[in-house]
Amino acid sequence: MAQRTGAERFLAPAARAAGAGLCLALAAAALLLAGCGGSSGDSGSAGAASSTAGTASAGSPDSPSSSQGASPTAEENKRAHPSGAPGGGGQKHAPLALPKDESGREHAPTAAEKANSPVADMTLFSPSLPAAEGIAALTPPYTCDGAGSWPALRWGGVPAGTKELALYVMSAKPVNGRLFFDWAVAGLGPHSEGLEAGRLPAGAVEGTNSFGKRGYSICPEPGGAETYLFALFALPRSLSPKPGFDPRALREEILATSGNAGLLSAAYARG
Amino acid sequence: MRRKATTLGAAFAALAVTCAMFATTASAAPAWKFEGKSLEGTEVILGAAIDSSLTIPGLTTKCANFLYKVTIKNEAGTGKGEVTEVPLYNCTTDQPEVCTVSSIAAEKLPWPAKLATVSTSNYIVIEGIKVAIKYAGIECALGGITVNVTGTAGGIVDNATETATFNSTTFGATKTELKALATKIQWTGIFPTEAFQWHREQALSVS
């Protein structure tokens, strides 16, 4: 621990003033109570940082390039590795490098792209599903291990001008290289705020899922665990699909039409 | 009477100790230091993440080039900062044949940062994080959708290696979280904290 400087010793008068106030309150409390006890020590045990910095794999040093405004400048890169060689100039970490091939580089989503594809800025959650460590988990009633009906869902932030909502449930990982549709519903009202468990509102239309059934099916392999993506799309026009529609075909139309989505992931482990 | 006075005396003694401890804690806010001396003015940290990955349930994304620029300063004895630029390039997923990253960007920059001490360890806490990732792939569940990663992130600062490490343990210790898909997500990575302006090649520490 480095020696504290003189400046620092005098830099916390406000904190000490606040401390004095708190101490007065504590004094009153201490006098009222016969004693005090307990501790509020933080039990968080942060893992020590790995010391792999010297073996960085951030890429090979290339000529600095700053085709984007958000890139380190050439001067900064020059400062980063003045010798032009990895580890040169006494650098302890890997030198900064930008990719040589800029044609394949990702770019920031443009306004046009955001307007022409769904941005996940609507809220979607399920009051039916418990969340462990902030991650929603499906329970047996909402799978083939139980009644197999969908959980209640709530959503918000539907943009003005929405004509219809469509809801998909897909397995996060493809099955045999193909996207797996567990449920697809279209024709949900633009002013609706959710779905009750196992009940569809009038006008809603279900597609044929990847099990070949019209309706909802969450059923991973026995002993398997899967993550499911619930995706709600706001549509600026009605797509009017027929009952038993092909969710894959409709999804392509949705992605080309919708500008807003709400996403929720939920996991299920089958015993 | 004497017993009452003794009790009062003990209470005040305990209080004095408590107050002394509090005063010590209050004045011991972590600060940025170079070669052991408190940073005056500002400095710029420019670096490239080492082995960083972002795991949205069902899909892990890695960027081979995860650069960052952070302006740091001490304010009233406490280390503060701003993440001003985060260029992300060459990003891939753990389902490369199905899901690709078509665009990615750090948004709403600058992200404010501050130093904090939890137990005896020092952390950097970054607030207001927003990263927009657009995935592509007709067989990708997130294909065609722009996913927003938002929240705060706390990483432990290691003075010996001059790095900040972010993982689930450091998020837990700092009570921070990043969310996407209405779910807490995992972000891991090691971030060198070297200065590239006035204090280049000087040892940067937090204490």
Determine, for residues A53 and B102 on separate chains, whether the beta-carbon distance falls below 8 Å: no
The secondary structure of residue A107, as a DSSP letter, is B
B4 and B93 share a domain? Answer: no
- In this structure, are B15 and B80 located in the same domain? no
pLDDT for position A271: 78
Whether residue B86 is found in the same domain as residue B173: yes
Q: Are residues B19 and B67 in the same domain?
A: no
Task: Report the CATH fold assignment for A112-229+245-258.
Answer: Phosphatidylethanolamine-binding Protein (3.90.280)
Per the CB < 8 A criterion, the answer to whether B103 and A106 are in contact is: yes
The pLDDT, as a whole number, for residue B3 is 52
Cβ-defined contact of B103 to A79 (cutoff 8 Å) = no
| Minimal Cβ distance to B148: which of A41, A120, A135 | A120
Domain boundaries, chain A: 112-229+245-258
- Greater confidence (B143 vs A42) lies with B143
Residues 6 or more apart whose Cβ sits within 8 Å of residue B96? none
pLDDT at A114: 64
pLDDT tops 60 at residue A103: no
Parent domain of B9 = 1-29
User: What is the spatial distance between Cα A44 and Cα A131, in angstroms, rounded to a whole number?
Assistant: 21
Tokens of B130: 């927003």
**B51 contacts in chain A (CB < 8 Å):** 52, 57
Which one is predicted more confidently, A111 or B143? Answer: B143
Place of tokens 């070949």: A212
pLDDT bucket at A179, cuts 50 / 70 / 90? very high
- Tokens representing A189 are 């009202």
Asked whether residue B59 falls in the same domain as residue B116, the answer is: yes
Alpha carbons B70 and B113: distance in angstroms, whole number: 9
B184 and B87 inside one domain: yes
**Scanning every residue of chain A, which has its alpha carbon at the shortest distance from the alpha carbon of B74?**
A8
Does the pLDDT value for residue A46 go beyond 60? Answer: no
Asked if A92 and B194 count as a contact pair (C-beta separation under 8 A), the reply is yes
Q: How far apart are the first and last CA of chain B?
A: 47
Contact B95/A173, CB-based, under 8 Å?
A: yes
State the ipTM, two decimals. Answer: 0.79
Distance, CA of B136 to CA of B153 (rounded, Å) = 27
> Any bridge partners for residue A62, and if so which?
none
Indicate the residue of B26, B59, B190 with minimum beta-carbon distance to A18: B26
H helix or E strand, kind and range, residue B206 = strand B204-206
User: Which residues, other chains included, contact A65 with Cβ-Cβ below 8 Å and sequence gap of 6+?
Assistant: A71, A98, A102
**pLDDT exceeds 70 at position A84:** no
B80 Rama class: left (phi>0) / alpha (psi -120 to 50) / beta: beta
User: Does position A47 have pLDDT exceeding 90, yes or no?
Assistant: no
Number of Cα atoms under 13 Å in the Cβ half of residue A243: 6
pLDDT in tens, A13-34: 333 334 444 444 444 444 444 3
Neighbours of A222 (CB within 10 A): 8
- pLDDT, residue A28, reads 44
Q: How far is B113 from chain A (nearest CA, A)?
A: 18
Integer-rounded Cα Rg, in Å, for chain B is: 21
- pLDDT of B28: 62
Compute CA A147 distance to the chain's CA centroid, rounded to the nearest angstrom: 29
Per the structure, the count of domains in chain B is: 2
Question: Which residues in chain B are closer than 8 Å to A220, comparing Cβ atoms?
Answer: none
Contact A205, A186 (CB under 8 A): yes
Of the candidates B119, B147, B184, which has its C-beta nearest A120's C-beta? B147
B45 touches chain A (CB under 8 A): no
The pLDDT of residue A112 is 67
Q: Dig out the tokens for B19 from the structure.
A: 């107050």
Q: Are strands A135-137 and A260-269 parallel, antiparallel or unpaired?
A: parallel
Cβ of B161 within 8 Å of Cβ of A108? The answer is no
pLDDT at res. A132: 74
Mean pLDDT for the stretch of residues A213-239? 94
**Cα B35 to chain center, whole Å?**
22
pLDDT of residue A120: 85
Residue whose tokens read 């200065």: B195
Contact A118 B86 (CB under 8 A): no
**pLDDT reported for residue A9:** 29
Q: Cβ contact (<8 Å) for B105 and A31?
A: no
CA distances from A169 to A191, A212, B23, B203 (A): 21, 15, 55, 51
How buried is A240 (Cβ within 10 angstroms: 0-12 exposed, 13-18 middle, 19+ buried)? exposed
Q: Which residues pair with B69 in a beta bridge?
A: B46, B85
Spatial CB neighbours of B139, under 8 Å, sequence gap ≥ 6: A174, A177, A178, A179, B98
Q: Report the pLDDT value the prediction gives residue A235, as an integer from 0 to 100.
A: 95
**B144 touching A (Cβ < 8 Å):** yes
Same domain, B120 and B202: yes
Q: With residue A9 as reference, give the H or E element that holds it.
A: helix A6-9
- Among the listed residues B74, B162, B66, the one whose alpha carbon sits nearest the alpha carbon of residue A12: B74
Query: Could you tell me which residues are beta bridge partners of residue B124?
Result: B115, B155
pLDDT tops 80 at residue A215:
yes
Any idea which of A127-131, A243-247, A259-263, B25-29 has the lowest mean pLDDT? B25-29
Does the distance separating the beta carbons of B19 and A58 come in below 8 Å?
Answer: no
Residue in A5, A52, A93, A258 to test binding to B, most B beta-carbons within 10 Å: A93
Q: Say if the Cβ atoms of B121 and A23 lie within 8 Å.
A: no
Residue pLDDT, tens place only, A231-258: 999 999 999 899 999 999 999 999 999 9
Nearest residue in chain B measured CA to CA from A116: B144
CB within 8 Å of chain B, chain A residues 38-57? 41-53, 56-57
Residues of A numbered 75-114 whose beta carbons fall under 8 angstroms of chain B's beta carbons: which are they?
76, 79-80, 89-99, 104-110, 113-114
Q: What is the pLDDT along chain B (207 residues), one digit of tens a residue?
A: 455 555 545 555 554 444 444 443 444 689 999 999 999 999 999 999 998 999 998 899 999 999 999 999 999 999 999 999 999 989 999 999 999 999 999 999 999 999 999 999 999 999 999 999 999 999 999 999 999 999 999 999 999 999 999 999 999 999 999 999 888 999 999 999 989 889 999 999 999
Chain B CB contacts of A70 below 8 Å: 85-87, 105-106
Nearest to A92 by CA among A49, A48, A50, A56: A56
Q: Are A213 and A204 in contact (CB under 8 A)?
A: no
**B146 in Cβ contact with A118 (< 8 Å):** yes
Residue B25 CB partners (closer than 8 Å, separation 6+): none
Check the CA dihedral B179-B180-B184-B190 and report its sign. negative
Chain B residues with beta carbon closer than 8 angstroms to that of A80: 46, 196
State whether residue B77 is helix, strand or coil. Answer: coil
* Residue A50, pLDDT above cutoff 60: no
Contact A139, A129 (CB under 8 A): yes
Instruction: Determine the distance in angstroms separating the CA of A79 from the nearest CA of chain B, rounded to an integer.
Output: 6
Is any Cβ of chain B less than 8 angstroms from the Cβ of A68?
yes
Helix (H, G, I), strand (E, B) or coil at A226: strand
